[in-house]
Structure 1
Amino acid sequence: MRRRGVVCVVAGAVAIGLIGGDGGVVGHAKAWADGTPVVWSDAEMPELPLDGYEFDGADAKARDRMESATQLLTQRCMIRHGFADFPRDPKFPGMAITYTAAMVAVSTGPVGPYDPGKARRWGYGWDPEKKLRLPEPAGRRMTTEESAVYYGDRGSERSGCSGEVYGRIERGVRDTERMWTYVSRRDDAVRKQTDRDPRMRRAYKAWADCVVDKGFKRYADPVQAFGDEAWGRGQDGNTTRKERELGTAVADIACKRAHNTAGVWWSVARRLQRRELALHRQEFTAVRADRDRLLANVRAVLETA
């Protein structure tokens, strides 16, 4: 990774970068002396303790397999009700004809974007010509008659073939709402604690001072810089990408790298998540047990495919 005009100096830490012939920083060490990882990209962000309790935290394909199992069971249910040619992956009534959208989702991560190349060109936005191809169901559109059987009683969430299928997939799960929401709610709470932590506040201040030193506005943290209304986001969420925005975005990332803002965020978040797990060990264990029951049900269904 080549950087221009970025000097990384961290007292008491492993050196972050080597200075190239043009004055740019090339490469960086993996961790500070105290174990804080050096994070310059999303890919370098290590896992956190709560990740292992998320539904797909330890298995990136878990949701895909669950979707495959529910489609398989739903098709079988609809066939039993006389719809012999019901597709595995139907389009639903009322779905849009086009599946192309102009808006591109931008993930800011815990401390905003990291890519300096994109920042120089697109600031806090993206290429306006880039289109997002939304996933399109492979099967034909569901008929009105099929929809009535699929959903059953519209006044109940768990009726029709859809309700039958979820009853099968969630068999043995003790608390479905807790399984789907508990970890994310606790993670949100810990993230708020992370931002208030004294070490994190010092890290944000060092980052903010750095951005100001480069001639740009002071922000409380990188996420505030990302969301500045001055960038003039339109209805699609994209920015105007004017000179001030581009310069701020580049300075933002350079300062995050110089002060390892993302690495400090991870270190603080890990400490607070470990405390969260210790305080609520029974609840987290129950959530993971329910998740494992559901995934076992999914595996059993797919084995019959």
Structure 2
Amino acid sequence: MRRRGVACVVAGAALIGFTGGDGFAGGHAKTWADGTPVVWTDQEMPELPLERYEFDGTDKQAYDRMERARQLLTQRCMVRHGFADFPRDPKYPGFGNRYTTVMVAVGTGPVGSYDLEKARRWGYGWDPGKKVRPREPEGREMTTEESAVYYGDRRGEQSGCAGEASRRLERGVRDRRNTWVYVSGRATAVRKQAGRDPRLRRAYREWADCVVDKGFKRYPDPVKAFGDKAWGRGQDGNTRRTERELGTAAADVECKRAHNTGGVWWSVVNRLQRAELTLHRKEFAAVRVDRDRMLANVRAVLETA
């Protein structure tokens, strides 16, 4: 979860000691007088209401615990089928012959990054000297015979030992699909709705005017700036880091700080998400019950490890 950044309300002023660029003379206000949080760094973006209902790959601790429980259950199932030395974290058949791409994933949120130093140096890309190799399974590669038992008939996720593990972890869950996709689906709908909100549209225009005033191209929003094909992003996700790209990326961050684009975005989405929770209270409550039940199943399995 992101660290909360709302701390105090400053009446009559949007920012304290704002000097432009990356200056922090006297620091900056934590909120506007109307309660809108002031966001100058990635860490200052507050949590949104729907995040408390999510359970997906973004919740790394919970997701990792679920994977450990799944591996344990699958291994036990394989042992029962006669594969006594089956590893807990196996490689898939043919894994050793695959070419593993080494890269750093590049992504951006609805308003992009606030890291001005990186923007000035790497633009909308990343340091090519800091490559990260994706995590590889620790165990040996499973055999073709083991794979047939592991996956079963492959006609569904509930087949084979992998399917048995899933059924155990989802025991008591009433709506399996909604547990994984309902919250993210509603969050996506809210983001689309936010894009039509007059206040956010005005904030994006102010940000765009600021970028243009600094001598760069007009974009409808920060995400479009990040995704400009002119940056020549390659298959590894990195950009060419031209002078224009570096300047645009720096102006992007400076203008988001100057006009609190991220804080306005959060304020609009926060209001819409709260309305969403009120409108679909029963559905969200049911998702949370199923999520908590699944996490309880995970805890029970890991306690037997």
The TM-score normalised by the length of structure 1 is: 0.91
CA distance in 2, matches of 1:109, 1:274: 20
Give CA-to-partner distance per residue, 1:237-277, whole Å, 9 cap, x none. 22111111111111110000001100111111100000111
Any stretches of 5+ residues in structure 2 without a counterpart? 1-9
Residues 1-305 of structure 1: matches in 2 within 5 Å?
12-19=12-19, 24-26=23-25, 27-55=27-55, 60-96=60-96, 101-305=101-305
Q: Does the aligned pair in 1 maintain the 2:11–2:32 contact within 8 Å?
A: no
Q: Does the aligned pair in 2 maintain the 1:52–1:58 contact within 8 Å?
A: no
1:290, CA displacement in angstroms?
0.6
1:16, CA displacement in angstroms?
3.8
1:58, CA displacement in angstroms?
10
CA distance in 1, matches of 2:156, 2:24: 59
> Which deviates the most, 147-156 or 166-175?
147-156
Change (3 A) 1:248 1:60: same
Amino acid in the other structure paired with 2:107: S
RMSD across aligned positions (CA): 2.2
Q: Who is 2:6 aligned against?
A: none
Q: Does the aligned pair in 2 maintain the 1:100–1:131 contact within 8 Å?
A: no
Change (3 A) 1:125 1:58: closer
Amino acid in the other structure paired with 1:130: K
Q: Does the aligned pair in 2 maintain the 1:42–1:109 contact within 8 Å?
A: no
Q: Secondary structure at the residue paired with 1:211?
A: helix
Change (3 A) 1:300 1:29: same
The TM-score normalised by the length of structure 2 is: 0.91
Amino acid in the other structure paired with 1:25: F
CA distance in 2, matches of 1:232, 1:63: 34
Change (3 A) 1:250 1:19: closer
Q: Secondary structure at the residue paired with 2:297?
A: helix
Q: Does the aligned pair in 2 maintain the 1:101–1:131 contact within 8 Å?
A: no
Q: Who is 1:3 aligned against?
A: none
Q: Does the aligned pair in 2 maintain the 1:78–1:149 contact within 8 Å?
A: yes
Give CA-to-partner distance per residue, 1:48-99, whole Å, 9 cap, x none. 0000110159964111111111111111111111111111111111225578
> Which deviates the most, 124-133 or 289-298?
124-133
CA distance in 2, matches of 1:264, 1:180: 29
Change (3 A) 1:158 1:129: same
CA distance in 2, matches of 1:59, 1:191: 20
1:234, CA displacement in angstroms?
1.8
Seq. identity, %:
75
Q: Does the aligned pair in 2 maintain the 1:211–1:255 contact within 8 Å?
A: yes
Runs of 4+ in 1 over 4 A off after TM superposition: 56-60, 96-100
CA distance in 2, matches of 1:199, 1:23: 26
CA distance in 1, matches of 2:70, 2:122: 40
CA distance in 2, matches of 1:69, 1:127: 35
Any stretches of 5+ residues in structure 1 without a counterpart? 1-9
